[in-house]
A and B are shown apart, each in its own frame.
Chain A
Amino acid sequence: EAQVTQNPRYLITVTGKKLTVTCSQNMNHEYMSWYRQDPGLGLRQIYYSMNVEVTDKGDVPEGYKVSRKEKRNFPLILESPSPNQTSLYFCASSGSGPQSGNTIYFGEGSWLTVV
């Protein structure tokens, strides 16, 4: 079954404590991306990756880091989380970049609260 798996699904952390949200896909997709979703706003892209070792900033990259050392994994790193990073995060993957018209598959989301 085609899957994008995120962990953890729910997390409460304190300001400044580094955390990593993992994302893994089993479809051998080249394109992966992270989004955050806040009330009243559409999904906003944080970072994306077109392939292994190739990453680029999205609309809201500040305060986040990513890496793409393997094709299947694309972790999101918050080096020093702040309360304004409290949000619902989604990882997504696609066979190629979204301009290609390929289906984009989303994970189930990770609810992050920073206190």
Chain B
Amino acid sequence: KNQVEQSPQSLIILEGKNCTLQCNYTVSPFSNLRWYKQDTGRGPVSLTIMTFSENTKSNGRYTATLDADTKQSSLHITASQLSDSASYICVVGSSGSARQLTFGSGTQLTVLP
């Protein structure tokens, strides 16, 4: 069964600090890995998309990495801001499944002043 596990479940950091969120997946065959930011009560917004051949992708202060061998990804947030407070969701796409996308449960990040 395809699965995406994210850690930690929740994280609290101070404004200006860096943090790293983790994503482990067992999805086969792998197609792509996406990170989304979801503000409370809002729709998810795409941060990065990586395919098998990419091992890093940046979007401003957000940098995602992918290790397809170990089936792990991380999202690094640099110089956090209050507006970074949100749920960050890892999503893995499969080219072989009718379901096509497997979602993690998300990491709830809170940035305090």
Contacts and interface: CB of A to CB of B under 8 A. Distances in A.
Interface of A: 4, 35, 40-45, 48, 56-59, 88, 90, 97-99, 101, 103-109, 111
Contact of B41 (A40, A42, A109): A109
B56 interface: no
Contacts of A40: 105
Contacts of A101: 31-32, 49, 51, 93
B99 A90 contact: no
Interface in B64-113: 89, 93-95, 98-106
Given A98-B93, A99-B93, A101-B49, A45 B43 contact: no
Interface of B: 4, 31-32, 34, 41-46, 49, 51, 89, 93-95, 98-106
22 contacts: A42-B102, A42-B104, A42-B105, A43-B89, A45-B99, A45-B100, A45-B101, A48-B100, A59-B99, A98-B100, A98-B101, A99-B31, A99-B93, A99-B94, A101-B32, A103-B46, A104-B34, A106-B43, A107-B43, A109-B41, A109-B43, A111-B41
B103 A58 contact: no
A3 to B, nearest CB: 11
A109 B38 CA distance: 11
Contacts of A106: 43-45
B49 A103 contact: yes
Contacts of A45: 99-101
Most buried by B among A35, A90, A99, A105: A99
Contacts of B31: 98-99, 101
A7 to B, nearest CB: 14
Nearest to B33: A101
Nearest to B51: A101
A62 B94 CA distance: 23
A38 to B, nearest CB: 10
A44 B103 CA distance: 7
A43 B103 contact: yes
